[in-house]
Amino acid sequence: MNAISFIETHSGFIQAIILFIGASIAIFQLSSLNRQLKGNSLQQIQLNDREIKTLVFNNPLLSEKAKKDVESEKKLEKYMLLLISHAKHIYLLNNLKKLPEDYWDAVERDLEYSITDPVFKKMWDQTKKYVPDNFREYVDSLVAYT
């Protein structure tokens, strides 16, 4: 039996093996890509967190005196919307167990501190209908506690 007749006789089996190997490689690549995307998402959220904190620490509009100014209040409202959005994403990652516990603890402290601000409460009342139910219940419980 020469090689050509062997291939002709067993072509279905050979095709099945090639298909199995190709599917195995594809599944491995998808798994690897999924891990990479999760890692990239976490890095992006951490970068956003740093950017928000930088904006807060370097923004003179967040002083008590400036809060009385209408224009600065609008900017503070935008900041609070960013904070709510950021906290929502961090909350989701925390529930998926994709964050270090101390990272969530730090974000939770920031959120608890911000909830005491009347501007936060105003923005929360306007936006809470757009967030997932479990996050809304969580923040509402914090607001009720303060």
In a domain? residue 117: yes
Per-residue pLDDT tens digits for 73-132: 777 788 888 888 888 888 888 888 877 888 888 888 888 888 888 888 888 998 899 899
In a domain? residue 92: yes
In a domain? residue 67: yes
Q: How many domains does one find in the chain?
A: 1
In a domain? residue 6: no
Structural domain harbouring 61: 41-145
pTM above 0.75, yes or no: no
State how far the Cα of 130 lies from the Cα of 115, in Å rounded to an integer.
18
Rounded to the nearest 10 degrees, the angle between the axes of helix 133-145 and helix 70-95 is 120
State how far the Cα of 75 lies from the Cα of 72, in Å rounded to an integer.
5
In a domain? residue 34: no
In a domain? residue 24: no
In a domain? residue 25: no
